[in-house]
Amino acid sequence: MGYRIVVAGATGNVGREMLNILAEREFPADEIAVLASSRSVGEMADYGETGRQLRIQNIEHFDPAGWDMALFAIGSEATKLHAPRFAAAGCTVIDNSSLYRMDPDVPLIVPEVNAEAIDGYKARNIIANPNCSTAQMVVALKPLYDAAGIKRVVVATYQSVSGAGKAGMDELFEQSRNIFVGDPAEPKKFTKQIAFNVIPHIDSFLDDGSTKEEWKMVVETKKILDPKVKVVATCVRVPVFVGHSEAIHVEFEREISAEEAQKLLREAPGVMLVDKREDGGYVTPVECVGDFATFVSRVREDSTVENGLAFWCVSDNLRKGAALNAVQIAELLGRRHLKKG
Ligand code: 2RA
């Protein structure tokens, strides 16, 4: 016997990817409901490449009673409207938005890092998925943290336009095409031209001069990994369609060599080490698309600080950064709390 599972936001980048991954991982679902706003009602959504299609229902009219869990990718505003009623009806919400991530009664989960924290989900019957740039970073940090403790992390991100949704991808495509005919389209989704350019600004600015995306990486890493770890981030939008990259510099509590780190990363859950000190001996975003792994390359010692290491980290932001992590949380919830006969 399997689960009755809901995917809310079935027409967006992450929603579509959640359906693909549920199908790829053969999630034990007896029934699947796909929901979206009234605009998409009646359209069909693909269940991965199974050939099966699911008719989209209006989330406004959907009754969650009797459903086991719901994967939400509908943004904070709609989540605020619908997550409480799903949770109250006994349908556990696994939410991709930032709405509940810092709620003390809502576990923020990356299964490879803090799976046991899911046991606190009953307080709100809601589980939060982290920001994409946080998820891949903590997967890579976890084995090194366990071995040598972490004092401080300095990270620069190179985030693809799919993190800003379909509109972000469309803008990169149109601008890149138009520039060749001498007519770069005016920025709409982004503040400045994104084609052949980089923008050091994701989400809104805060009073201290950092951005909300950078704040998310700090506070979410502390909640998932360890509140004592110091984090500073610079989050940059780059002209890449899918795949976030990160240059990560870590100061450890205890000595750890590059070789020791490579060995730990090679064996770590969710990590794929691709690290040869030669041409092409590293991963780039175009190679991570569609993969489940968090790739790590360029592991090396940083002699400018005590017990320092630097490395490169790449992952499909729609997968490990969102949809895959959400499906892994659903699998974990099933294993630990919603066992079916
Ligand atoms: C971005 N991490 O990349 C944010 C939200 N997905 O735009």
For residue 262, the model assigns a pLDDT of 98
Report d(CA 96, CA 75) in Å as an integer: 8
159 & 290 share domain: yes
Say if 71 falls within a structural domain: yes
> In this structure, are residues 288 and 315 in contact, taking their beta carbons and an 8 Å threshold?
yes
Boundaries of domain holding 36:
3-129+322-336
The encoded tokens of residue 106 equal 């809502």
Q: Which of 202, 217, 320 to mutate to test the pocket of ligand 1 (most atoms within 8 A of CB)?
A: 202
222 & 305 share domain: yes
159 & 270 share domain: yes
Which of 112, 129, 121 shows the shortest CA–CA distance to 220? Answer: 129
313 & 200 share domain: yes
Q: Which of 134, 159, 316 to mutate to test the pocket of ligand 1 (most atoms within 8 A of CB)?
A: 159
Characterize the bridge pairing of strands 308-315 and 294-302.
antiparallel
Which residue numbers are catalytic?
Answer: 132, 244
The encoded tokens of residue 164 equal 């800003």
> In this structure, are residues 109 and 93 in contact, taking their beta carbons and an 8 Å threshold?
no
13 is in an annotated binding site: yes
| Strand ranges of the sheet holding 69-72, from the earlier edge strand across to the other edge | 44-46, 53-58, 29-36, 3-8, 69-72, 92-95, 126-128
Q: Which of 76, 131, 240 to mutate to test the pocket of ligand 1 (most atoms within 8 A of CB)?
A: 131
247 & 201 share domain: yes
d(CA 288, ligand 1 centre) in Å: 17
Say if 123 falls within a structural domain: yes
Characterize the bridge pairing of strands 44-46 and 230-237.
unpaired
Question: Number of structural domains, the chain?
Answer: 2
3-state secondary structure 10-35: CCCHHHHHHHHHHHHCCCCEEEEEEE
Cα 83 versus chain centre, distance = 19
155 & 302 share domain: yes
Say if 229 falls within a structural domain: yes
Task: Pick the residue whose CA is nearest to atom 1 on ligand 1.
Answer: 163
d(CA 203, ligand 1 centre) in Å: 8
d(CA 159, ligand 1 centre) in Å: 7
115 & 181 share domain: no
**Segments in the chain forming alpha helices (H):** 13-24, 75-88, 111-114, 132-148, 165-179, 212-224, 258-266, 285-288, 324-336
Say if 341 falls within a structural domain: no
> In this structure, are residues 186 and 271 in contact, taking their beta carbons and an 8 Å threshold?
no
112 & 153 share domain: no
Which of 201, 292, 256, 212 shows the shortest CA–CA distance to 17? Answer: 292
Task: Pick the residue whose CA is nearest to atom 3 on ligand 1.
Answer: 163
The model's pLDDT over 258-285, given as tens digits with 9 standing for 90+, comes to: 999 999 999 999 999 999 999 999 999 9
Atom of ligand 1 nearest to the CA of 216: 2
191 is in an annotated binding site: no
> In this structure, are residues 299 and 309 in contact, taking their beta carbons and an 8 Å threshold?
yes
DSSP class per residue in 212-248: HHHHHHHHHHHHHT-TT-EEEEEEEE-S-SS-EEEEE
Characterize the bridge pairing of strands 244-252 and 308-315.
antiparallel
Report d(CA 240, CA 194) in Å as an integer: 9
Say if 326 falls within a structural domain: yes
Per-state percent for the chain, helix, strand, coil, to nearest 5: 35, 25, 40
Report d(CA 140, CA 154) in Å as an integer: 14
146 & 281 share domain: yes
Is the pTM above the cut of 0.90?
A: yes
For residue 141, the model assigns a pLDDT of 98
> In this structure, are residues 319 and 21 in contact, taking their beta carbons and an 8 Å threshold?
yes
Which of 266, 129, 287, 292 shows the shortest CA–CA distance to 311? Answer: 266
Which amino acid would we find at residue 22?
L
Atom of ligand 1 nearest to the CA of 202: 7
152 & 299 share domain: yes
Angle between helices 13-24 and 324-336 (to 10 degrees): 50
Which of 120, 5, 133, 125 shows the shortest CA–CA distance to 68? Answer: 5
Say if 113 falls within a structural domain: yes
φ, ψ (nearest 5 deg) of residue 100: -105, 0
Q: Which residues line ligand 1 (CB under 6 A)?
A: 131-133, 159, 163-164, 202, 213
pLDDT (tens place) for every residue of the chain, 341 residues total: 899 999 999 999 999 999 999 999 999 999 999 999 999 999 999 999 999 999 999 999 999 999 999 999 999 999 999 999 999 999 999 999 999 999 999 999 999 999 999 999 999 999 999 999 999 999 999 999 999 999 999 999 999 999 999 999 999 999 999 988 888 678 999 999 999 999 999 999 999 999 999 999 999 999 999 999 999 999 999 999 999 999 999 999 999 999 999 999 999 999 999 999 999 999 999 999 999 999 999 999 999 999 999 999 999 999 999 999 999 999 999 999 998 87
Report d(CA 87, CA 269) in Å as an integer: 30
The domain spanning residue 248 has which CATH number? 3.30.360.10
The domain spanning residue 57 has which CATH number? 3.40.50.720
97 is in an annotated binding site: no
DSSP class per residue in 60-73: GG---TT--EEEE-
**CB neighbour list of residue 227: distance below 8 Å, 6 or more residues apart:** none
205 & 332 share domain: no
Task: Pick the residue whose CA is nearest to atom 4 on ligand 1.
Answer: 163
Say what the ipTM of the complex is: 0.96
31 & 154 share domain: no
